[in-house]
A and B are shown apart, each in its own frame.
Chain A
Amino acid sequence: MGTDFSEPKRQSAAGVAVMFADHLQRSIRVLVFPIILLLVRAKGMNHWYLIAGFLVFLFILIIYSYLSYLRFSFFLDEEKQEFVIQKGVLSKEHISIRLDKIQQVNINQSLIQRIIGVYSLDIDTAGSDKKEASIKAIDHHTATILRERLLNRDTPDPTAEKSTDEQRLKSEPLLKLSTSTLFKVGLTSNYGASVALLMGFIFAIMEMLKNYTEAFQLEENPIKALSTEGLNMISIGVLLFFALLIVLGTNILRNFIKYFDFEVIKKKAVLAITSGLFEKKHTLLKPARVQISSYSQNYFQKKLDLMNMKFKQASFDAADEDDKDNKKHDIEIPGCDENERDELLKMIFECIPQKESTFIPNYRFLFLTIMLKVVIPIAFFLLIGWVLPHLRPYFWWIIPYAILVVIMLYFEFAHHRLYLSEDFIIKKSGIWDVEHQLMEPHKIQGITTKQYFWHKKANIGHLVLHTAAGTIHFKYGNYADIHRMANYWLYYIESGKKDWM
């Protein structure tokens, strides 16, 4: 394939194989249960029929894959500034994407693509434009050039492309994760996800064991024995130790698979990020497209000078979610130190955001949350215990619960801060993982201020900043301050010419 994209082009010839694998995988996923049923039911049937049927099925798939390869074409319409993809065997699909709507172009490689030696190019668009496009088989050279053309939109210049390619080879990575850093990251982050994974696994095994013992009517049921005899302290300790070991192990393993060979390279005005052990991921990040940048750190990570960074981009689905991660649009940097963070922030913002003035929530922040999360649940529990006497021996649980939750709420309160400077908004929050979210005022889509009627006298209110990548909340602030901020940001947005994307 050449580098001229103005004429409709097909994918690499190897695309047939990729499409075949893709279709095969998809049809197996759909047909796996009917096939198993057929195999079980058709015991008496001649096996040759089955094999013949399977071969016919494969043949049809091959033809279908070939046809979809033939029908798939893409080109760059320079005049309309659009990227066009045409595809579809039975029904024709015509996707055109305006270049200025393209947020991100990723070059990825799955296992199959790795074996064949091709890449896929996925185009990510912003806003309500839900159509997303991907090219399943393309060689690396073409993919990188196409990506550059899609993102930069400047006139093609073969020599420049060559030099950027060379530049890429020469330029020092801005950030490179070493094995030891990955190890540290695995040790100190994402406990929640790994614990959930492990719990699911343990429950599945327990269930299986139960079914197994019931099916064979075993008298010795290890699970039952455990639950009837009760566990002594030592075995609980051993069990906890192993659980911890497994959680940390899975954490480390997951991190290695996902972030192996993680590299951030600065290329002109964009950041190129590559990572992955089995599936290689290449992502280009344009600083102007980032809506919210954040870094987070927990106690252990602070001791190790390690933090996790995230760059949130505009997406229609993410805008409504508060703190939930939108993995597809988020770009994550699993581990970096303070210097590297500052380097990255400089890339995004052209300077390091400073905390010039601090805003602290009112103590009433604790009031309502303690009411909701401590007083009401305990009152409810006592009420139920009053009705059901056999719950009474468990009343002492209230004390550790109350202490733990109050401590957590206190930390939440202590970490809830808003820092402002002329051109930046920094919001700090979190209980264990303390996160700083950074944004520029011109990324604001809308501002909402809220006040409960009983807070009128105390002059307390809440602030919500809506962005295209989610919202930022500041709760229980001085309402007069919040008004001033809102007025300033409105002035900033409405008098400035800066676009949010």
Chain B
Amino acid sequence: MQDFTNETLDIDALPKYEEVVLNAISRKYWRVALLNIAIFLLILAAAIGMVLFFVEGFRPYLYVTTGIYLLFSILLIALYRTSIKRIGYAIREKDLIYKSGIISISTSIIPFTRIQHITLNEGIFSRMFQLGSLHVFTAGGISGSITIPGLDINMAKAIKEELNRQLAKVD
């Protein structure tokens, strides 16, 4: 493979984003996720229960349905668990790195000079655990923006402030 060489610059000597040690999000976020999953599973269970109750033809499949439901629940919880464990973020001197994903692991980097604005969201459950999620927007639309969930609220506020300070410096 050829390289795009540049006489004065050794690309391998540049800081490597892929080797940055990432911070994990707050452990409490797992509880928020569990609450969300629990509500979803409860609604699903209620719907299945309704079908079993009103449609007599389905009753013989009671055990099969329960089995599939349990399997699905375990799978969902396991998937959430790993996906939360995989989330990592880092703030470098000049950019923001965010890594996530289970099947396809993606890493996004946004230079501070390209940030348009930053918002801090607190959901109901997140607020119960003093957590918040940070949205960093660029002109690249939704796909070009980053959302870091499950940050300790004080930490999130500090990051937001720091990023805003960086933005002001850039301007």
Q: In the complex the two chains form, what is the Cα distance from A481 to B3 in whole Å? A: 8
> In this complex, what residue of B is CB-closest to A497?
B113
Is B144 part of the binding interface, using a Cβ–Cβ cutoff of 8 Å?
yes
- Known contacts: A128-B116, A319-B140, A490-B109. The answer to whether A359 contacts B103 by CB under 8 A is no
Is A500 part of the binding interface, using a Cβ–Cβ cutoff of 8 Å?
yes
- With both chains docked as a complex, state the minimum distance between the C-beta of A183 and any C-beta of chain B, in angstroms: 38
Mark B residues whose CB is within 8 Å of A. Answer: 1-4, 6, 9, 11-12, 14-18, 94-95, 101-114, 116, 138-146
Residues on the B chain within 8 Å of A270, using CB = none
Is A466 part of the binding interface, using a Cβ–Cβ cutoff of 8 Å?
yes
Residues on the A chain within 8 Å of B111, using CB = 446, 490, 493-494
Q: In the complex the two chains form, what is the Cα distance from A160 to B15 in whole Å? A: 49
The residue from B4, B104, B105 contacting A488, defined by CB atoms under 8 A apart:
B4
Q: A494, B94: Cβ atoms under 8 Å? A: yes
- With both chains docked as a complex, state the minimum distance between the C-beta of B12 and any C-beta of chain A, in angstroms: 7
24 CB < 8 A contacts A-B:
A316-B141, A319-B142, A357-B3, A444-B114, A445-B138, A446-B111, A446-B140, A448-B107, A449-B107, A450-B101, A450-B104, A453-B102, A466-B138, A466-B141, A471-B140, A471-B143, A481-B1, A483-B16, A483-B17, A488-B11, A488-B14, A490-B109, A490-B111, A501-B139
Which residues of chain A from 103 to 136 have any CB-CB distance to chain B below 8 Å in the complex?
A: 126-128
Is A478 part of the binding interface, using a Cβ–Cβ cutoff of 8 Å?
yes
Is A78 part of the binding interface, using a Cβ–Cβ cutoff of 8 Å?
no
Q: B114, A484: Cβ atoms under 8 Å? A: no
- With both chains docked as a complex, state the minimum distance between the C-beta of A313 and any C-beta of chain B, in angstroms: 11
Q: B4, A446: Cβ atoms under 8 Å? A: no
Q: A450, B105: Cβ atoms under 8 Å? A: yes
Residues on the A chain within 8 Å of B146, using CB = 446
Q: In the complex the two chains form, what is the Cα distance from A358 to B104 in whole Å? A: 25
Q: A127, B116: Cβ atoms under 8 Å? A: yes
Instruction: List 18 additional contacts besides A357-B2, A466-B143; criterion CB under 8 Å.
Output: A127-B139, A128-B116, A319-B140, A319-B141, A445-B110, A446-B111, A446-B140, A450-B101, A453-B104, A468-B140, A478-B1, A483-B16, A483-B17, A484-B12, A491-B14, A493-B113, A499-B113, A500-B139
- With both chains docked as a complex, state the minimum distance between the C-beta of A334 and any C-beta of chain B, in angstroms: 27
- Known contacts: A420-B4, A452-B104. The answer to whether A486 contacts B109 by CB under 8 A is yes
Residues on the A chain within 8 Å of B104, using CB = 450-453
Q: B4, A448: Cβ atoms under 8 Å? A: no
Q: B1, A445: Cβ atoms under 8 Å? A: no
Residues on the A chain within 8 Å of B113, using CB = 493-494, 499
Mark A residues whose CB is within 8 Å of B. Answer: 126-128, 314, 316-320, 356-359, 420-422, 444-453, 464, 466-468, 471, 478, 481, 483-488, 490-491, 493-494, 499-501
Interface majority SS (helix, strand, loop, mixed), chain A: mixed
Residues on the A chain within 8 Å of B107, using CB = 448-450
The residue from B12, B94, B108 contacting A448, defined by CB atoms under 8 A apart:
B108
Q: A422, B6: Cβ atoms under 8 Å? A: yes
The residue from B2, B6, B114 contacting A493, defined by CB atoms under 8 A apart:
B114
- With both chains docked as a complex, state the minimum distance between the C-beta of B52 and any C-beta of chain A, in angstroms: 28
Residues on the A chain within 8 Å of B140, using CB = 319, 445-446, 466-468, 471
- With both chains docked as a complex, state the minimum distance between the C-beta of B43 and any C-beta of chain A, in angstroms: 30
Q: A452, B103: Cβ atoms under 8 Å? A: yes
Residues on the A chain within 8 Å of B18, using CB = 449, 483
Residues on the B chain within 8 Å of A485, using CB = 4
Q: In the complex the two chains form, what is the Cα distance from A464 to B140 in whole Å? A: 11
Residues on the B chain within 8 Å of A314, using CB = 139
- With both chains docked as a complex, state the minimum distance between the C-beta of B44 and any C-beta of chain A, in angstroms: 28
Q: A446, B110: Cβ atoms under 8 Å? A: yes
Q: In the complex the two chains form, what is the Cα distance from A445 to B142 in whole Å? A: 12
Residues on the B chain within 8 Å of A453, using CB = 102-105
Residues on the A chain within 8 Å of B9, using CB = 491
Q: A490, B11: Cβ atoms under 8 Å? A: no
Residues on the B chain within 8 Å of A452, using CB = 103-105
Residues on the A chain within 8 Å of B14, using CB = 487-488, 490-491
Q: State the 6 A-B residue pairs at the shortest beta-carbon distance, nearest first.
A: A319-B141, A466-B144, A466-B140, A445-B140, A468-B139, A320-B141
- With both chains docked as a complex, state the minimum distance between the C-beta of B151 and any C-beta of chain A, in angstroms: 19
Q: In the complex the two chains form, what is the Cα distance from A490 to B12 in whole Å? A: 13
Q: A494, B6: Cβ atoms under 8 Å? A: no
- With both chains docked as a complex, state the minimum distance between the C-beta of B42 and any C-beta of chain A, in angstroms: 32
